[in-house]
Amino acid sequence: MMGSSFFTPLSWNDSGFILTGVLNTVYISLVAIIIGTLLGLAVGFIRAEANKFTNTLLGGVLDILRSVPLIIQLILFSTYIGAIGYPLDPFVTGTIILSLYTMAFMSEVFRGGFESVQQSMITAGRSLGMSYWQTVAHVRLPIGLRAVFPSWLGVALSVIKDSALVSVIGYMELLRTSEQLISRTQQPLEILIGVGIFYFIVSYPLSLYGKYVERKMAT
Amino acid sequence: MIQIQNVHKSFGSLEVLKGIDLDVQKGEVVSVIGGSGSGKSTLLYCINAIEDIQQGRIVVDEIDVHAKGTNQDKLRQKLGMVFQQWNSFPHLTVLENASLAPRIVSKLSRKEAVEIAKKELNHVGLGDKFDEYPTRMSGGQQQRLAIARALAMKPDYMLFDEVTSALDPELVGEVLDTLRMLRDDGMTMICVTHEIAFAREVSNKVAFFHQGVIEEMGPPEQVIANPQKEATKKFLSKVLH
């Protein structure tokens, strides 16, 4: 039973399995980027507007999320939530933690964006009769978001790469599917190079685009 | 009309306005002159309810600006304001800059808002710049855009806060010409300005601010050409050299 036939080489039949991993990586990254961006926008805005006390409090929580390695947060949360009797699907656990982690970084990006909009620009909006929220929607948000787009893209890219860590709690993303393939085929070199190429193909054009936008905004 | 009665304004322990009284009638052009730190810009910010006041009151067309229950957003629609820094919205084209507030504040349809914006932009000589982004224009053009943007709200009064101070000297003329045009249209204006010659030419009334009070006020031929107070004389001799 444990003979040489247990190890079978990589074949085209594995492509469906690999594709599942690819799609799951894209899926969990996208969900985390979207949720993290929305939450980050709200938290970043609150931080730009809030008083010192609220800011210190919020800042502390965000510092923890940013400073504790993602892999530890994933293992801690999935173990704890299981131990208190609410075992969650790896996708849900991964999404929650990855989104919060993303939010922690995004909130700083957006806070910087909101704070980059000069007070005089806001006053100009108010003097035209705009309400507080109208200046937020039509002045601060569009101007602030433009200013931080390259930084936002940078965070989003690192989320795609960090999503590989969700494999440790059992989510079938690209790294975990490739680990399973490696244990069956014993071809780690080919498989890991292939996975690396995938991340490169996704990340590199986006980071080039970010640099392009940055250059364009500088002129 | 705008009635300013015994207005006091402090920033912390620093009292910037120490009892200002000033009436501006419909159709009048009032220039406010004085050294920096004399409180003249602060007064405009108080009229526009951007700043609150500690004492006294400001009444615009029977509306008490700082009274509880005054809808200040609505009030500001009557009061167009243009600043030293033109503050063009950099993410919007010239036409969008001028049509944004009519659309979202006055709730006009896009078509109506664009129509009004085009009219005001033509008026200030920006008829060929509709689709330009303001950051690609000169300071003088951006300041005229700021004027058109304020006019598009159909204000009853215009407040100008040193609108030529941040401009390169060769661009001052085009902005002053725009203000002259508004005076000819009969717009009621309060101009805080360092352009003494301009103030003398266009104003019905000149108020000289000194250390938070109106030191001297009257028609320009009196305050500028024939000042009575020592402080006024001293200030004018410095700026007119």
pLDDT by residue (tens digit) across A37-92? 999 999 999 999 999 999 999 999 999 999 999 999 999 999 888 888 888 889 99
Q: Is B33 helix (H, G, I), strand (E, B) or coil?
A: strand
Say if residues B3 and B178 touch (Cβ distance below 8 Å).
no
- The alpha carbon of B122 is separated from its chain's Cα centroid by a whole number of angstroms, namely 20
Q: B117 CB near a chain A CB, below 8 Å?
A: no
pLDDT of residue B185: 94
Q: What is the pLDDT of residues B6-44, one digit of tens each?
A: 999 999 999 999 999 999 999 999 999 998 888 899 999
Q: What percent of chain A has pLDDT over 90?
A: 65
A217 reaches B (C-beta below 8 A): no
Of B67, B63, B69, B125, nearest to B94 by C-alpha is B125
Residue B166 touches chain A, beta carbons under 8 Å: no
User: CA–CA separation, B29 vs B123, rounded Å?
Assistant: 19
Write out the H or E segment, with its range, that includes residue A45.
Answer: helix A15-49
Helix (H, G, I), strand (E, B) or coil at A1: coil
- Residue partners of B4: CB distance under 8 A and separation at least 6: B20, B21, B22, B23, B24, B43, B47, B56, B58
Query: Cα B159 to the chain's mean position, in Å?
Result: 2
> Model's pTM, two decimal places?
0.86
Task: Compute the count of residue pairs across chains A and B with CB atoms less than 8 Å apart.
Answer: 58
Residue of B nearest to A124 (CA): B87
Which of B222-226's residues contact partners 24+ apart within 8 Å by CB, and which partners?
Answer: B224/B33, B224/B196, B224/B199, B224/B200, B225/B200
Distance from CA of A11 to the nearest CA of B (A): 52
pLDDT score, position A214: 85
- What whole-number distance in Å separates Cα of residue A179 and Cα of residue B202? 81
CA distance B206 to chain A (A): 24
- CATH of span A14-218: 1.10.3720.10
Q: Give B83's contacts in chain A (Cβ within 8 Å).
A: 120, 123-124, 127
Rounded distance between C-alpha atoms, residue B15 and residue B37, angstroms: 11
- Residue B141 contacts residue B199 (beta carbons within 8 Å): no
Sheet holding B2-11, edge to edge: B14-24, B2-11, B55-60, B63-64
The larger pLDDT score, comparing residue A9 to residue B89, is at: B89
Name residues whose C-beta falls within 8 Å of residue A55's C-beta, 6 or more positions apart in sequence: A47
Query: What phi, psi does B126 have (nearest 5°)?
Result: -115, 25
* B12 vs A12, residue with greater confidence: B12
- Residue A218 pLDDT exceeds 90: no
Distances (CA, A) of A157 to A30, A33, A161, B7, B42: 10, 9, 7, 56, 47
CA distances from A125 to A109, A137, B16, B84, B175 (A): 24, 11, 25, 15, 21
Domain B2-240 classification at class level? alpha beta
**pLDDT at position A5, please?**
58
Q: Return the residue matching tokens 């999404």.
A: A95
Domain ranges, ordered by start, for chain B: 2-240
Interface check for A134 against chain B (CB to CB < 8 A): the answer is: yes
State pLDDT tens for residues B109-118: 999 999 999 9
Least CA distance to B88: which residue of chain A? Answer: A121
Cβ-defined contact of B153 to A121 (cutoff 8 Å): no
- Give me the pLDDT at residue A2, please: 47
User: Across the interface, do B104 and A138 touch by the CB < 8 Å criterion?
Assistant: yes
Per-residue pLDDT at A167 exceeds 80: yes
A199 pLDDT above the threshold of 80: yes
Give the single-character DSSP code of B12: T
Does residue A120 sit in helix, strand or coil? helix
Residues of chain B with pLDDT under 50: none
Q: Is A142 on the interface with B (CB under 8 A)?
A: yes
Residue A135, pLDDT above cutoff 90: yes
- Inspect the interface and report whether the beta carbons of B81 and A134 lie closer than 8 Å: no
Closest CA of chain B from A20, distance in Å: 41
Residues 6 or more apart from B11 whose CB is under 8 A from it? none
CB-CB: which of B74, B85, B105 is closest to A128?
Answer: B105
The 10 Å Cβ neighbour count of residue A147 is 19
Q: With an 8 Å Cβ cutoff, are A124 and B146 in contact?
A: yes
Contact yes or no for B89 and A139 at CB 8 A: yes
Q: Give strand ranges (E) for chain B.
A: 2-11, 14-24, 29-34, 55-60, 63-64, 79-82, 157-161, 188-192, 205-210, 213-218
Phi, psi dihedral angles at B152 (to 5 degrees): -65, -15
Helix, strand or coil, per DSSP, at residue B69:
coil
CB atoms within 10 A of CB A214: 14
DSSP letter (8 states) at residue A139: I
Alpha helices in A84-187 (DSSP H): 90-116, 119-127, 132-135, 141-162, 174-185
**Among partner residues B74, B77, B87, which is closest to A124 by beta-carbon distance?**
B87
Q: Is B79 on the interface with A (CB under 8 A)?
A: yes
Report CA torsion sign: B42, B46, B47, B50. Answer: positive
Mutation target among A119, A128, A145 for the B interface, most CBs of B within 10 A:
A128
The confidence score (pLDDT) of residue A215 equals: 87
Amino acid at B179: L
Question: What is the least distance, in Å, from the CA of B57 to any CA of chain A?
Answer: 19
The terminus-to-terminus CA distance of chain B in angstroms comes to 35
Residue A1 has a pLDDT of: 43
